[in-house]
Chain A
Amino acid sequence: MLIQRASNILPSEITPERVYRNRREFLKAAILAPLAGAGQATGSTDKVTPYEYATTYNNYYEFGTDRSDPSKNSGKFQVKPWTVSVEGLVKKPARYDLDDLLKGFPMEDRVYRMRCVERWSMVIPWRGVPLASLIRKLEPLPSAKYVEFKAVFAKDQMPGQRSRSFGGGLDWPYTESLRLDEAMNPLTLFATGIYGKPLPNQNGAPLRLVTPWKYGFKGIKAIVAIRFVDNQPVSSWMKAWPEAYGFYANVNPSVDHPRWSQVREERIGEAGNALSSLLGQGIHNTLMFNGYGEQVAQMYAGLDLRKNY
């Protein structure tokens, strides 16, 4: 049965086609304006990391613990078809084909700094959907306080999941989580591409999380499930080493890793050559919230970030 109803939308409410066609530019301008401000505030001139480095220097233990392992071992990883299940405290728990899940959301391009907990950083042009708009569509229940993400468990395709020693022995599948307000922060992105191309497997294809004010390990890759919960979940790294990896994992130069200080970082590929990197080109002082304090600091007002690392 087909039910048809006359549209009650006034012609004046419809976005003019010219504006609609320029929506990406409009959104980009709206989003990049505050980011540009943050850049000026930190005095940084972020040079985009060479594609070659961003795609061959990765931490993705499912494909091996060496940073050159993921690009070598992920070539045959199957990302199509890809199903994402939406679970927990949400109006419509369901399983979606990835294309259906993201259908209708305009893709956005964002250039973010990424600070790894291991003291290196990159500047990466991402393409993706702001997680906030997806979450709004999924309609979490009022009782939902956290969002937990689960990565794929594919032993046959991921050597690091087969062997304890090869994959570092994390508790698979990899999980990560955010407070609901962090997940809804305008910076938080569900990325499907980098450098204007679809995500390479080693960078987390087909769907990964990007939270630029947190250490890189929060950026869970190859996501297969989104679960809304009311209690703070325990992520894979928290389980593996709670003294080193906390729930928040906000970039914070004043909270050390047990093995090293976080006051400085090495910006991958910034020095023109190895000789100039010896002279300190590419070394940056690490910024609180990776320089995104203006966008995120208010979420942590009153929270002791030394204890809640």
Chain B
Amino acid sequence: MPVWTSERTINTRRVRPLLFLLCLFPAAALVWSIAAGKLGANPLEEIRDSTGIWTLRFLLITLAVTPLRRLTKWHDIIKIRRMLGLFSFFYATLHFISYVWLDQFFALSDMIKDLTKRPFIMAGYASFVALIPLAVTSTRKWILRLGGEYWQLLHRLVYLSAAAGVLHYFWRVKLDVRRPILYGIVLTVLLILRVFHKMLANSSSRDPRTGLRPEY
């Protein structure tokens, strides 16, 4: 028996403005640190690294929404998924800008060389580019235009983005791979939960009373 029912859980409408501000906090803290000169010895690297790590964190948080909904039966939580996904894209964009600006200083030929030569950079690009169509089609209009099924199919690109992001992080470090591996484990767990769910849904019979598959 589920402990929570959708009637008893929190309505996300009240939570959303607060969550929005919370999601903005890492960016605001970064801007404040830049203005206050509190970024330490290597501010450019700090900006690149922090925008990158927050992209990955937001991707994983976004990917945690569906398993959390299934576990807690807090179905309304799905309404904050779009916001979290868009914040992933927001931080990914900041990270991309920090690469173009603060790493390459807009040297186009250097960037092309970087992209064609280095798997580390390729993984980063892949992770970012895969998010673009998802951000574009995040509106209600686009869901209707594509139809739920196609929309869902397209949005599976988020798995590719997250996996490429973890790989990018893994290749970023010189020797100490503890943190990239931790992110990899979290992503793996989130993906395994989905596989389990699918297997359960396929194997279990329909509910005798409603005649429906126990989707949730």
Contact = CB atoms under 8 A, between A and B. Distances in A.
Interface of A: 53, 56-57, 61, 65-68, 118, 120, 165-166, 168-170, 240-241, 256, 258-261, 263-264, 266, 268-269, 271, 273-275, 277-278, 280, 283
Contacts of B29: none
Given A259-B118, A264-B105, A274-B34, A57 B172 contact: no
Nearest to B101: A278
Most buried by B among A261, A263, A271: A261
Interface of B: 33-35, 37, 39-45, 101-102, 105, 110, 113-114, 117-118, 120, 171-172, 174-176, 178
A274 B33 contact: yes
Nearest to B176: A65
B110 A274 contact: no
Contacts of A240: 175
Question: Would you call the interface of chain A mostly helix, strand, loop, or mixed?
Answer: loop
27 contacts: A57-B40, A57-B42, A61-B175, A65-B174, A67-B41, A67-B42, A120-B45, A168-B175, A168-B176, A169-B175, A256-B117, A259-B171, A260-B114, A260-B118, A260-B120, A261-B110, A266-B44, A266-B45, A268-B42, A269-B41, A271-B43, A274-B35, A274-B39, A278-B34, A278-B43, A278-B101, A278-B102
Contact of A168 (B43, B118, B174): B174
A268 B34 contact: no
A268 B41 contact: yes
B19 to A, nearest CB: 29
Contacts of A170: 175
Given A261-B110, A280-B105, 8 more contacts: A61-B175, A66-B176, A263-B110, A266-B42, A269-B41, A271-B43, A274-B37, A278-B44
Nearest to B172: A259
Contacts of B178: 165
B179 to A, nearest CB: 10
A278 B40 CA distance: 14
A67 B101 CA distance: 23
Contacts of B171: 259
A274 B45 CA distance: 11
Contacts of B105: 264, 280, 283
